Chain A
Amino acid sequence: MKLIVAIIRPEKLDDVQQVLAQDDVFLMTVSDVRGFGKQRGFTEVYRGQEVVERMVPKLKLEIAVNDAFVDATVDAIVRAARTGDTGNVGDGKIFILPLDQCIRIRTGEMGPDSIGP
């Protein structure tokens, strides 16, 4: 089992969800996050005073998958979240973490069976 954590552009969520659904990955947790990497922030001006906003809004997806789904999931996210043909700075990142255990709270089921619908 793996936990796939993906940071993507907020406007790409729809595309990513659609492509993931084609690979039977439906369940995910999405949060609003802010951060910065290589992408530079943006400048705001209030009454002539410039404020540089370095933290750029992003979405964080957390998707728990069984090992067989890891490659397909990563592929899908990369395909859907990349902007333009070659991609741009700020498209995001994907982290793959080992997942020790997964428990469905309602039934108490554990392990690979408890991932997924």
Chain B
Amino acid sequence: MNPPPNIDTGDTAWMLTSTALVLMMTIPGLALFYGGLVRSKNVLSVLMHSFFCAGLIGVTWVLVGYSLAFAPSDSGWIGGTDFLGLRGVLGSTNALAPTIPHILFVAFQGTFAIITPALISGAFAERMRFSAFAIFILLWSLLIYSPLAHMVWGGGWIATKVGALDFAGGTVVHIASGISALVAALYVGRRIGYGHEPMPPHNLPFTVIGASLLWVGWFGFNAGSALGSNELASLAFLNTNTAAAAAALGWIATERLRTGKPTLLGLASGAVAGLVVITPAAGFVTPGASIIMGLMGGVLCQVAVSLKHHFRYDDALDVVGVHMVGGTLGALSTGFFATSAVNPAIKSLTLGLDGGLFYGGGPSLVWKQLIAIAVTYVFCGGGTFVLLSVINLFIRVRAEEDEEVAGLDLSQHSERAYSLGDAEMVAQVSGELRAATAPPTSGERFSIRLDGIDADAMIKYWRSLCQVHQGPVSPQFKSVYGLVTTVTGTRFRFRGGDREAIRQNLEQLFKPVSPTAKAMIEV
């Protein structure tokens, strides 16, 4: 195999790194972010949603998904079949990323394909059957994600005919997952007890670790979307961090005004909201604009998340409030803030504009952005509804009531995240269980009383015998100890055994305390 032409090692190194970072966003970033927010009986099922996406789409992307997203097509709606099974990919480059191996572009885009459906899973968390989830993710990834990625990035009609901007996935990833989440949440219905039963997050430290991994991983997501190791990547990197920081502040400030206290969950959610907002704009706007966009995102998403209780839909983990609202805000404000001063490619990407409304481009870009947003809403929202309806014809999408009450960890996976320890586990008892009507018999019960011995001295000596000893134990003690049940005063009760032998042994045993002690059998 000949080395592909024009490969830049610096670009390749950065894109390899970015690819790993974006995968880290899903596992464990998103998995932990979501996992901490649910009740403890469902945490494994939620972790599994993200991890399963990595497994499933890790395979399907290579076989089919990539081709449907990035192979050339005539229609502009869905990619062709040229790259099925990655045919002809090795040894070439893709025109979208001419300085890195084509195979690396496949891997990088694959991590985006993995996280997008994983994001949706927050909406129907705690109540969807795993089998239905698996089929939904498979179909959604092939029939909704790949076509949308093709329309926006893969040379499809939104790119070539509309000229809307989406740097790293505001429409393809966040609006797509957000609107699908809304439809899925409505379709699956509210969790049992939603609205009157408290459902507080079970582990906020998980959520904060997850949000932190998302924040860091997002540098791969946004700066990696520059598809090279250059100033554009650096700009996207800085914008990403700035917007996340501003949004985190915006969220807790809003919270402080509306509910009284700034919360850690608010800070973490705000950061994620800011990352979502800046995603479509990261390589198109100035750092100053990213502060404004981040702040708007923090404030707006905080309000959006709290509104879900008024609308009474159960988007369990606020995918709509953060990703749909944040993604829409980001895509729209890209139409205002984009400027070819920071990225000359805007002119060709937008089919001839210098920038957004605030940078001398007029309202055209805003309209283009609105078209892309609307198409994403209709295509993904409608598609999700159709998919879920079709799946529900064959298998029940929603968990049964008892499965949901028991928790999906047990009912779907026969596992539990937290147990109290070994004492909780009961080994399988061999033999038949019987009703506890009478204790097991083990011989005639009888007592032996010691006379002529001081009770205190006797019990003191008996206790010392019962301690763990170094060296051999006297045969008398051995024969007695196993059969003793209780001791009251100087009376020993036994649950069986040879009475006379035990009587003699007991006498022998207490010789050191009282040589004259007499043992008497009592029945």
User: Which residues of chain A have C-beta atoms less than 8 A from B199's C-beta?
Assistant: 51
A114 to B43, CA, bound (A): 46
Q: Pick the contact of B486 from A45, A48, A51, A109 — CB < 8 Å? A: A109
A46 touches B200 (CB 8 A): yes
Residue of A nearest to B37 (CB): A46
User: Which residues of chain B have C-beta atoms less than 8 A from A113's C-beta?
Assistant: 459
Q: B261: CB under 8 A from chain A?
A: yes
Q: Pick the contact of B200 from A51, A106, A111 — CB < 8 Å? A: A51
B463 touches A45 (CB 8 A): no
A45 to B204, CA, bound (A): 12
User: Which residues of chain A have C-beta atoms less than 8 A from B318's C-beta?
Assistant: 47
Q: Pick the contact of A48 from B201, B305, B463, B488 — CB < 8 Å? A: B305
User: Which residues of chain B have C-beta atoms less than 8 A from A111's C-beta?
Assistant: 488-489
A103 touches B200 (CB 8 A): no
Chain B 198-214 against A: per-residue CB contact (8 Å), 1 yes, 0 no? 11110000000000000
A46 touches B265 (CB 8 A): yes
A62 to B303, CA, bound (A): 49
Q: Pick the contact of A108 from B198, B201, B266, B485 — CB < 8 Å? A: B485
Q: Pick the contact of B466 from A47, A107, A110 — CB < 8 Å? A: A107
What is the minimal beta-carbon distance from A29 to any residue of chain B, in angstroms? Answer: 15
A45-B261, A106-B466, A109-B459 known; A51+B198 contact, CB < 8 A: yes
Interface of A is mostly: strand
Chain A 96-107 against B: per-residue CB contact (8 Å), 1 yes, 0 no? 000000010011
Interface residues of A in 33-67 (CB under 8 A from B): 44-53
B259 touches A107 (CB 8 A): no
Interface residues of B in 451-491 (CB under 8 A from A): 459, 462-463, 466, 484-489
User: Which residues of chain B have C-beta atoms less than 8 A from A106's C-beta?
Assistant: 463, 466
Chain B 108-142 against A: per-residue CB contact (8 Å), 1 yes, 0 no? 00000000000000000000000000000000000
Interface size on A, residues (CB 8 A): 18
Q: A45-B261, A108-B493, A110-B488 are in contact. List 16 more A-B contacts (CB 8 A).
A: A45-B259, A45-B260, A45-B263, A46-B200, A46-B263, A47-B265, A47-B269, A48-B259, A49-B309, A50-B259, A51-B198, A51-B200, A53-B198, A108-B485, A110-B487, A111-B489
17 residue pairs from A and B, CB less than 8 Å apart: A45-B260, A46-B263, A47-B266, A47-B305, A48-B255, A48-B306, A49-B309, A51-B199, A51-B200, A52-B198, A107-B463, A108-B492, A108-B493, A109-B459, A110-B486, A110-B488, A111-B489
- Interface residues of chain B, those whose CB is within 8 Å of chain A, are 198-201, 255, 258-261, 263, 265-266, 269, 302, 305-306, 309, 318, 459, 462-463, 466, 484-489, 492-493
- Interface residues of chain A, those whose CB is within 8 Å of chain B, are 44-53, 103, 106-111, 113
